[in-house]
């Protein structure tokens, strides 16, 4: 029996453009705790490493003198809880699928490709988002930031997910939009497909990749090669 191909997907900025709803939640927290808000382009630079780091980086970048305040664990924990509570209630207001995602997922499913999500979002938020935006049923497994004891860019976030899905490293690949995805894929030894204009501060030439795509339209042509290797 030929081993099935396994594709792992990042979530924010890869499958779903979540930045508008993340921005709303972020700015809600910033206003409540007395910090400066951000715009859409700025929030895309902060997403991808979890709520705590996003909020911390947001504050540090806007006011260095506030560093000691955000370092107070009680305040930080309150901010993170407020963010997760608010975001969880407003998770699919403006968020939308990246162009071509739904058609690609249907194609992959029809070709017996195993698919999983590996995200630094909290697992329950990732599952809820995927369900509400109506693509959850395409995936065999969803690994969030808190699913294992480690998360991207640690390659074990990917390799453990592949193992859970009964896949193999040499028949797996990663699709993502940032250095977190790329660094994890490189360390795991699996091909990396990188989306342009991702949720990252880095330029595209600074991020490891095997293929670069604008969106999911026509991605089948790239995947077909791996499907038949």
Residues taking part in catalysis: 10
The C-alpha atoms of residue 14 and residue 25 are separated, in whole angstroms, by 19
> How far, rounded to the nearest angstrom, does the alpha carbon of residue 68 sit from its chain's CA centroid?
29
Cα of 63 vs its chain's centroid, Å: 27
DSSP string, 147-196: TSS--TTSTHHHHHHHHHTT--GGGEEEEESSHHHHHHHHHHT--EEEES
Q: Which residue has the tokens 């030894």?
A: 189
Question: 157: which residues sit within 8 A by CB, 6+ positions away?
Answer: 118, 143, 148, 150, 151, 184
Whole-number Å distance between alpha carbons of 167 and 52: 32
DSSP 143: E
Q: Find out whether 122 and 143 touch, Cβ atoms under 8 Å.
A: no
């Amino acid at each position: 029996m030929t081993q099935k191909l396994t594709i792992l997907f990042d979530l924010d900025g890869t499958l779903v453009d979540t930045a508008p709803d993340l921005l709303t939640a972020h700015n809600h927290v910033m206003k409540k705790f007395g910090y400066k808000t951000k715009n859409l382009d700025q929030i895309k630079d902060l997403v991808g490493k979890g709520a705590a780091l996003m909020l911390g980086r947001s504050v540090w970048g806007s006011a260095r003198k506030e560093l000691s305040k955000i370092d107070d664990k009680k305040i930080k924990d309150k901010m993170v809880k407020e963010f997760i509570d608010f975001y969880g209630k407003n998770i699919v207001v403006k968020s939308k699928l990246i162009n071509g995602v739904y058609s690609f997922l249907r194609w992959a499913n029809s070709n017996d490709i195993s698919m999983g999500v590996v995200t630094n979002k909290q697992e329950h938020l990732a599952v809820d988002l995927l369900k509400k935006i109506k693509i959850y049923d395409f995936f065999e497994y969803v690994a969030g930031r808190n699913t294992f004891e480690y998360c991207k860019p640690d390659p074990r976030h990917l390799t453990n997910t592949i193992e859970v899905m009964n896949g193999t490293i040499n028949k797996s690949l990663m699709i993502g939009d940032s250095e977190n995805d790329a660094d994890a894929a490189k360390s795991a030894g699996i091909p990396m497909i990188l989306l342009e204009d991702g949720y990252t501060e880095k330029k595209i030439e600074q991020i490891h990749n095997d293929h670069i795509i604008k969106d999911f339209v026509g991605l089948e042509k790239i995947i077909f090669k791996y499907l038949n290797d």
